[in-house]
């Protein structure tokens, strides 16, 4: 290829100075105007970008879960009095470390080291000039709720020491163990925030069922009379919501599995099949051929039962129907002590489920593993789980070779446990599509920590009440406000990109 050559014409000047005699007044005016416009634009963008940086704020929430501790960094603006959350990849970042804080009862200082690692992650995602204003909160959940009060405080005190020196805005009472009903309430808030149903007809809100590692939360609007300890009165806009919110401690997926296995050994387990083979109780919730001896319990919450003692005593037998029966027996334990008109799980009061629901966390992960649609029937999960449970372990390992074996074998139990929980206990029909399995709606994560952040951030906006919808949580003492400018939604709506709206678990495509 020939080189590119510049074609110069030496008999005609290529450039003529504007100050030369040949230049005319019009050219000079155009030049000065261009320079002036450039200077004005530069100053404007310099001021505007500075103002954007000043309006951009950050908040940090540490979720102290049962199997791990996750930090969330939220980026937001207060724009015309609105709390505008950034749900882009850079606007919402998180990091998780294992195991959970509840694992450090014997070595509380290690909990501090875990939190310090998370704080460093937050510092990388929050500019130095914004850290002093950004709040950092630690909210521990079911794993810590299982501990004695003194063990909780020893772990929290170490974490508080780390957070005091983090450079973020922090108070000691911002590191705490939250109640299960609060956790469920926060999850309900973010779900209905994402769906645009806050501030509207209570009958059109969506309930939330979370299946964590150590607990399960159920929160929904009910029109039934409820005992005061199970209800929360919430006012949003012109509507008052009568919320049922309760946490089923020890009914999370991981702890429930541990308790079930312990019962198999300690009681000789009566599963409706021959309970012993080669002198060992059979484990119907684990595929045949799997060896429990390899389990490390690296993801387990603080010990609830003596895991190592009973694992080697179990013989995996992979029987879905028996696993489902054993799960139901666990869920119904204590039902004879029910003092209410209706107790669907144990002796806990629960009104009849009303409306649509989102099933999150381990509900979603299990559904996703089996390749089910967001609004799949429970009968689909039952069929997939039965096929998985009764397959030989060697074939499952080959088929799912990329998955960790400890995680893989538990899908037998999780599929049976979910059917026992949602259908056998809560009464959701096998062909009912009112339950959607999801961990996000559009690009908004269905994370209780985000719900907590939304409430706490909005509560701090210093705004004129005349143009605002008031949101009051009975008994908590917060006043959360949001401007009522979204007429068709009658409530708070996230300001997100409206162009791309993929299918959600409940909404149309």
Q: For residue range 298-353, what is the model confidence (pLDDT) as tens digits? A: 444 444 445 555 667 789 999 999 999 999 999 999 999 999 988 999 999 999 99
Cβ density class 345-365: b for 16+ within 10 Å, e for less = bbebbbbebbebbbbbbbbbb
143 and 211 co-located in one domain: no
Residue 444 is assigned to a structural domain of this protein: yes
205 and 157 co-located in one domain: no
Q: Does the structure show a pLDDT above 50 at 476?
A: no
**Which of 159, 178, 197 lies at the terminal end of a domain, its last residue?**
178
Residues of the chain with pLDDT > 90, as a percent, come to 63
Segment 156-176, tens digit of pLDDT: 999 999 999 999 999 999 999
Task: Give the domain CATH number at 103.
Answer: 3.30.420.40
Q: Is 214 marked within a binding site?
A: yes
**Which of 157, 178, 199 lies at the terminal end of a domain, its last residue?**
178
441 and 405 co-located in one domain: yes
CA dist 41 and 281 (Å) reads 78
User: pLDDT value at position 39?
Assistant: 66
Residue 438 is assigned to a structural domain of this protein: yes
Residue 63 is assigned to a structural domain of this protein: yes
Q: Does the structure show a pLDDT above 90 at 26?
A: no
Q: Does the structure show a pLDDT above 70 at 19?
A: no
217 and 154 co-located in one domain: no
Query: Does the predicted model carry a pTM greater than 0.85?
Result: no
How does the average pLDDT of the chain come out, rounded? 81
Residue 7 is assigned to a structural domain of this protein: no
Q: Is 232 marked within a binding site?
A: no
Query: For the chain, how many structural domains are there in total?
Result: 2
243 and 95 co-located in one domain: no
224 and 117 co-located in one domain: no
68 and 135 co-located in one domain: yes
User: pLDDT value at position 341?
Assistant: 84
Q: Is 250 left (phi over 0), alpha (psi -120 to 50) or beta?
A: left
Q: What is the mean pLDDT of residues 431-458?
A: 92
Q: What is the mean pLDDT of residues 475-490?
A: 30
220 and 109 co-located in one domain: no
Q: What is the mean pLDDT of residues 367-375?
A: 97
Q: Does the structure show a pLDDT above 80 at 16?
A: no
Task: Give the domain CATH number at 339.
Answer: 3.30.420.150
3 state SS for 138-178 = EEECHHHHCCCHHHHHHHHHHHHHHHHCCCCECCHHHEEEC
Residue 27 is assigned to a structural domain of this protein: no
Segment 103-150, tens digit of pLDDT: 999 999 999 999 999 999 999 999 999 999 999 999 999 999 999 999
User: pLDDT value at position 454?
Assistant: 87
Residue 477 is assigned to a structural domain of this protein: yes
- Which helix H or strand E contains 61, and what residues bound it? strand 56-64
366 and 501 co-located in one domain: yes
163-177, 415-429, 461-475: segment of lowest average pLDDT: 461-475
User: pLDDT value at position 134?
Assistant: 96
Helix pair angle (149-164, 108-125), 10° resolution:
40
- Whether 229 is catalytic is no
194 and 157 co-located in one domain: no
Contacts of 202 (CB under 8 A, 6+ apart): 221, 239, 240, 241, 242
Residue from 135, 183, 210, 361 carrying the catalytic annotation: 183
Q: Is 485 marked within a binding site?
A: no
User: pLDDT value at position 227?
Assistant: 92
Q: Which residue segment(s) compose the domain that 63 sits in? A: 55-178
154 and 259 co-located in one domain: no
283 and 312 co-located in one domain: yes
Helix pair angle (448-459, 180-195), 10° resolution:
80
Q: Binning pLDDT at 50, 70 and 90, where does residue 394 land?
A: very high
- Which one is predicted more confidently, 167 or 14? 167
Residue 36 is assigned to a structural domain of this protein: no
93-97, 169-173, 424-428, 476-480: segment of lowest average pLDDT: 476-480
- Which one is predicted more confidently, 3 or 93? 93
Residue 19 is assigned to a structural domain of this protein: no
**Which of 122, 154, 178 lies at the terminal end of a domain, its last residue?**
178
Q: Catalogue the E-assigned strands of 276-362.
A: 276-277, 280-283, 315-316, 356-361
Q: Binning pLDDT at 50, 70 and 90, where does residue 279 land?
A: low
């Amino acid at each position: 290829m020939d080189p590119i050559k510049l074609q110069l014409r030496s008999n005609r000047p290529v450039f003529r100075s504007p100050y030369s005699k040949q230049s005319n007044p019009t050219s000079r005016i155009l030049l000065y105007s261009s320079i002036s416009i450039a200077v004005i634009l530069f100053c404007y963008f310099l001021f505007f970008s500075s103002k954007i940086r000043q309006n951009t704020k950050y908040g940090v929430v540490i979720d102290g879960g049962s199997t791990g501790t996750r930090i969330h960094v939220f980026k937001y603006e207060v724009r015309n009095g609105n709390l505008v959350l950034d749900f882009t990849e850079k606007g919402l970042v998180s990091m998780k470390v294992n195991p959970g804080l509840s694992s450090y009862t014997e070595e509380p200082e290690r909990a501090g080291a875990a939190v310090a690692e998370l704080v460093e992650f937050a510092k990388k995602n929050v500019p130095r000039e914004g850290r002093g204003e950004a709040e950092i909160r630690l909210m521990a959940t079911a794993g810590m709720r299982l501990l004695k009060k003194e063990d909780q405080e020893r772990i929290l005190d170490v974490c508080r020491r780390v957070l005091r020196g983090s450079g973020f805005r922090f108070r000691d009472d911002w590191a705490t163990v939250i109640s299960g009903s609060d956790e469920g309430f926060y999850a309900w808030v973010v779900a209905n925030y994402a769906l645009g149903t806050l501030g509207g007809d209570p009958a059109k809100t969506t309930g939330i069922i979370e299946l964590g590692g150590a607990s399960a939360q159920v929160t929904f609007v009910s029109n039934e009379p409820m005992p005061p300890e199970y209800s929360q009165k919430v006012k949003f806009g012109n509507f008052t919501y009568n919320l049922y919110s309760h946490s089923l401690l020890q009914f999370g997926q991981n702890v429930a599995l541990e308790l079930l296995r312990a019962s198999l050994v300690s009681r000789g387990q009566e599963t409706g099949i021959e309970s012993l083979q080669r002198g060992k109780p059979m484990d119907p919730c684990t595929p045949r051929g799997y060896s429990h001896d390899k389990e490390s319990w690296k993801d387990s919450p603080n010990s609830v039962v003596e895991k190592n003692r009973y694992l080697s005593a179990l013989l995996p037998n992979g029987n879905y129907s028996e696993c489902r029966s054993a799960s139901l027996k666990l869920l119904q334990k204590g039902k004879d002590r029910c003092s209410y008109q209706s107790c669907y799980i144990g002796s806990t009061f629960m009104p009849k489920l009303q409306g649509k629901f989102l099933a999150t966390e381990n509900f979603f992960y299990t559904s996703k593993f089996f390749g089910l649609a967001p609004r799949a029937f429970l009968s689909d999960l039952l069929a997939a789980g039965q096929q998985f449970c009764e397959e030989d372990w060697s074939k499952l390992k080959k088929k799912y070779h990329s998955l960790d074996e400890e995680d893989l074998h538990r899908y037998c139990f999780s599929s049976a446990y979910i059917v026992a929980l949602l259908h056998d206990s809560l009464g959701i029909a096998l062909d009912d599509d009112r339950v959607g399995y999801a961990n996000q709606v559009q690009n908004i994560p269905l994370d209780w920590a985000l719900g907590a952040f939304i409430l706490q951030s909005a509560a701090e906006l210093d705004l004129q009440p005349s143009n605002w919808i008031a949101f009051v949580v009975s008994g908590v003492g917060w006043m959360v406000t949001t401007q009522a400018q979204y007429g068709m939604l009658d409530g708070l709506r996230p300001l997100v990109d409206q162009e791309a709206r993929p299918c959600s678990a409940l909404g149309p495509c």
